[in-house]
Amino acid sequence: MSRRSGILEFAVLGLLRESPMHGYELRKRLNTSLGVFRAFSYGTLYPCLKTLVTNGWLIEEASNSPEDALTAPLTGRRAKIVYRLTAEGKEHFEELLSQTGPDAYEDEHFAARFAFFGQTSRDVRMRVLEGRRSRLEERLEKMRASLARTRERLDDYTLELQRHGMESVEREVRWLNELIESERAGRDLRGSASGGSAQQDTTSGATGGLPRSGGTPGTDTPDDTAT
């Protein structure tokens, strides 16, 4: 399995854990909720779904919505297929959620993992955030060293581009520092946003720890071209 397809399978399982969906709904959620998948096509999504069905992690069901029941006989089309997470699929997704290895820190995978932090235990969130921060600090150190070596040979525009890249990484490191501080303090975004007291949640998958500002990084990476 490629890293790219693994990320997509993870996201599909996570979305279907919330509720069953048909393919169009899934693609819409991937596009709108997870920016890293904004250009994924049906040609990419449906093979992924078929693989998950074959593995026993999803099952296919005919849609029983009133709209489909009314239009299918009139148009001659089959009812839409709804994908539902199986017990094995839920167990597999929870296993993926618990992983904190290097893949969890990479740009695209981190964005997908972060999108499902609400279903992730706090200790796992902390390990992923700290791993991501460490990875970016290493990247930032290399960028600074490279810039120091080549500064005199660069024209103004190339130099400005490198500075912009460094500022982007520095900004994400600051954002991660805020997240990690919030997680350690046990702060809950829902409680702070509503003016209520902070909730202490050290084991559940609550969204505690998210600051009120800052977006999910790692979603600017170019995606597959829609077909």
194 has pLDDT over 50: no
Residues whose CB is less than 8 angstroms from the CB of residue 121 and which lie 6 or more positions away in sequence, other chains included: 97, 98, 203, 204, 205
Predicted confidence at residue 35, as pLDDT, reads: 66
Predicted pLDDT of residue 108: 76
pTM here is 0.73
Tell me what the mean pLDDT of segment 46-51 comes to: 93
Tokens of 72: 């299918």
**pLDDT, tens digit (0-9, with 9 covering 90-100), for 90-149:** 999 999 999 999 889 888 789 889 999 999 999 999 999 999 999 999 999 999 999 999
What's the confidence (pLDDT) of residue 63? Answer: 76
> Of 76, 83, 90, 127, nearest to 105 (Cα)?
127
Q: What is the DSSP string of 70-110?
A: HHHHHHTPPPPEEEEE-HHHHHHHHHHHT--SGGGGSHHHH
Instruction: Provide the mean pLDDT of the chain.
Output: 79
d(CA 97, CA 121): 9
85 beta partners:
58
Q: Is the pLDDT reported for residue 31 higher than 90?
A: no
CA gap 15, 24 in Å, rounded: 13
Q: What's residue 116's pLDDT?
A: 92
Nearest partner of 201 among 211, 193, 190, 212, judged by Cα:
190
pLDDT, tens digit (0-9, with 9 covering 90-100), for 148-163:
999 889 899 999 999 9
Q: Residue type for 77, please?
A: R
Q: How far is CA 54 from the centre of its chain?
A: 24
Residue 35 per-residue DSSP state = G
Q: Does the structure show a pLDDT above 60 at 195?
A: no
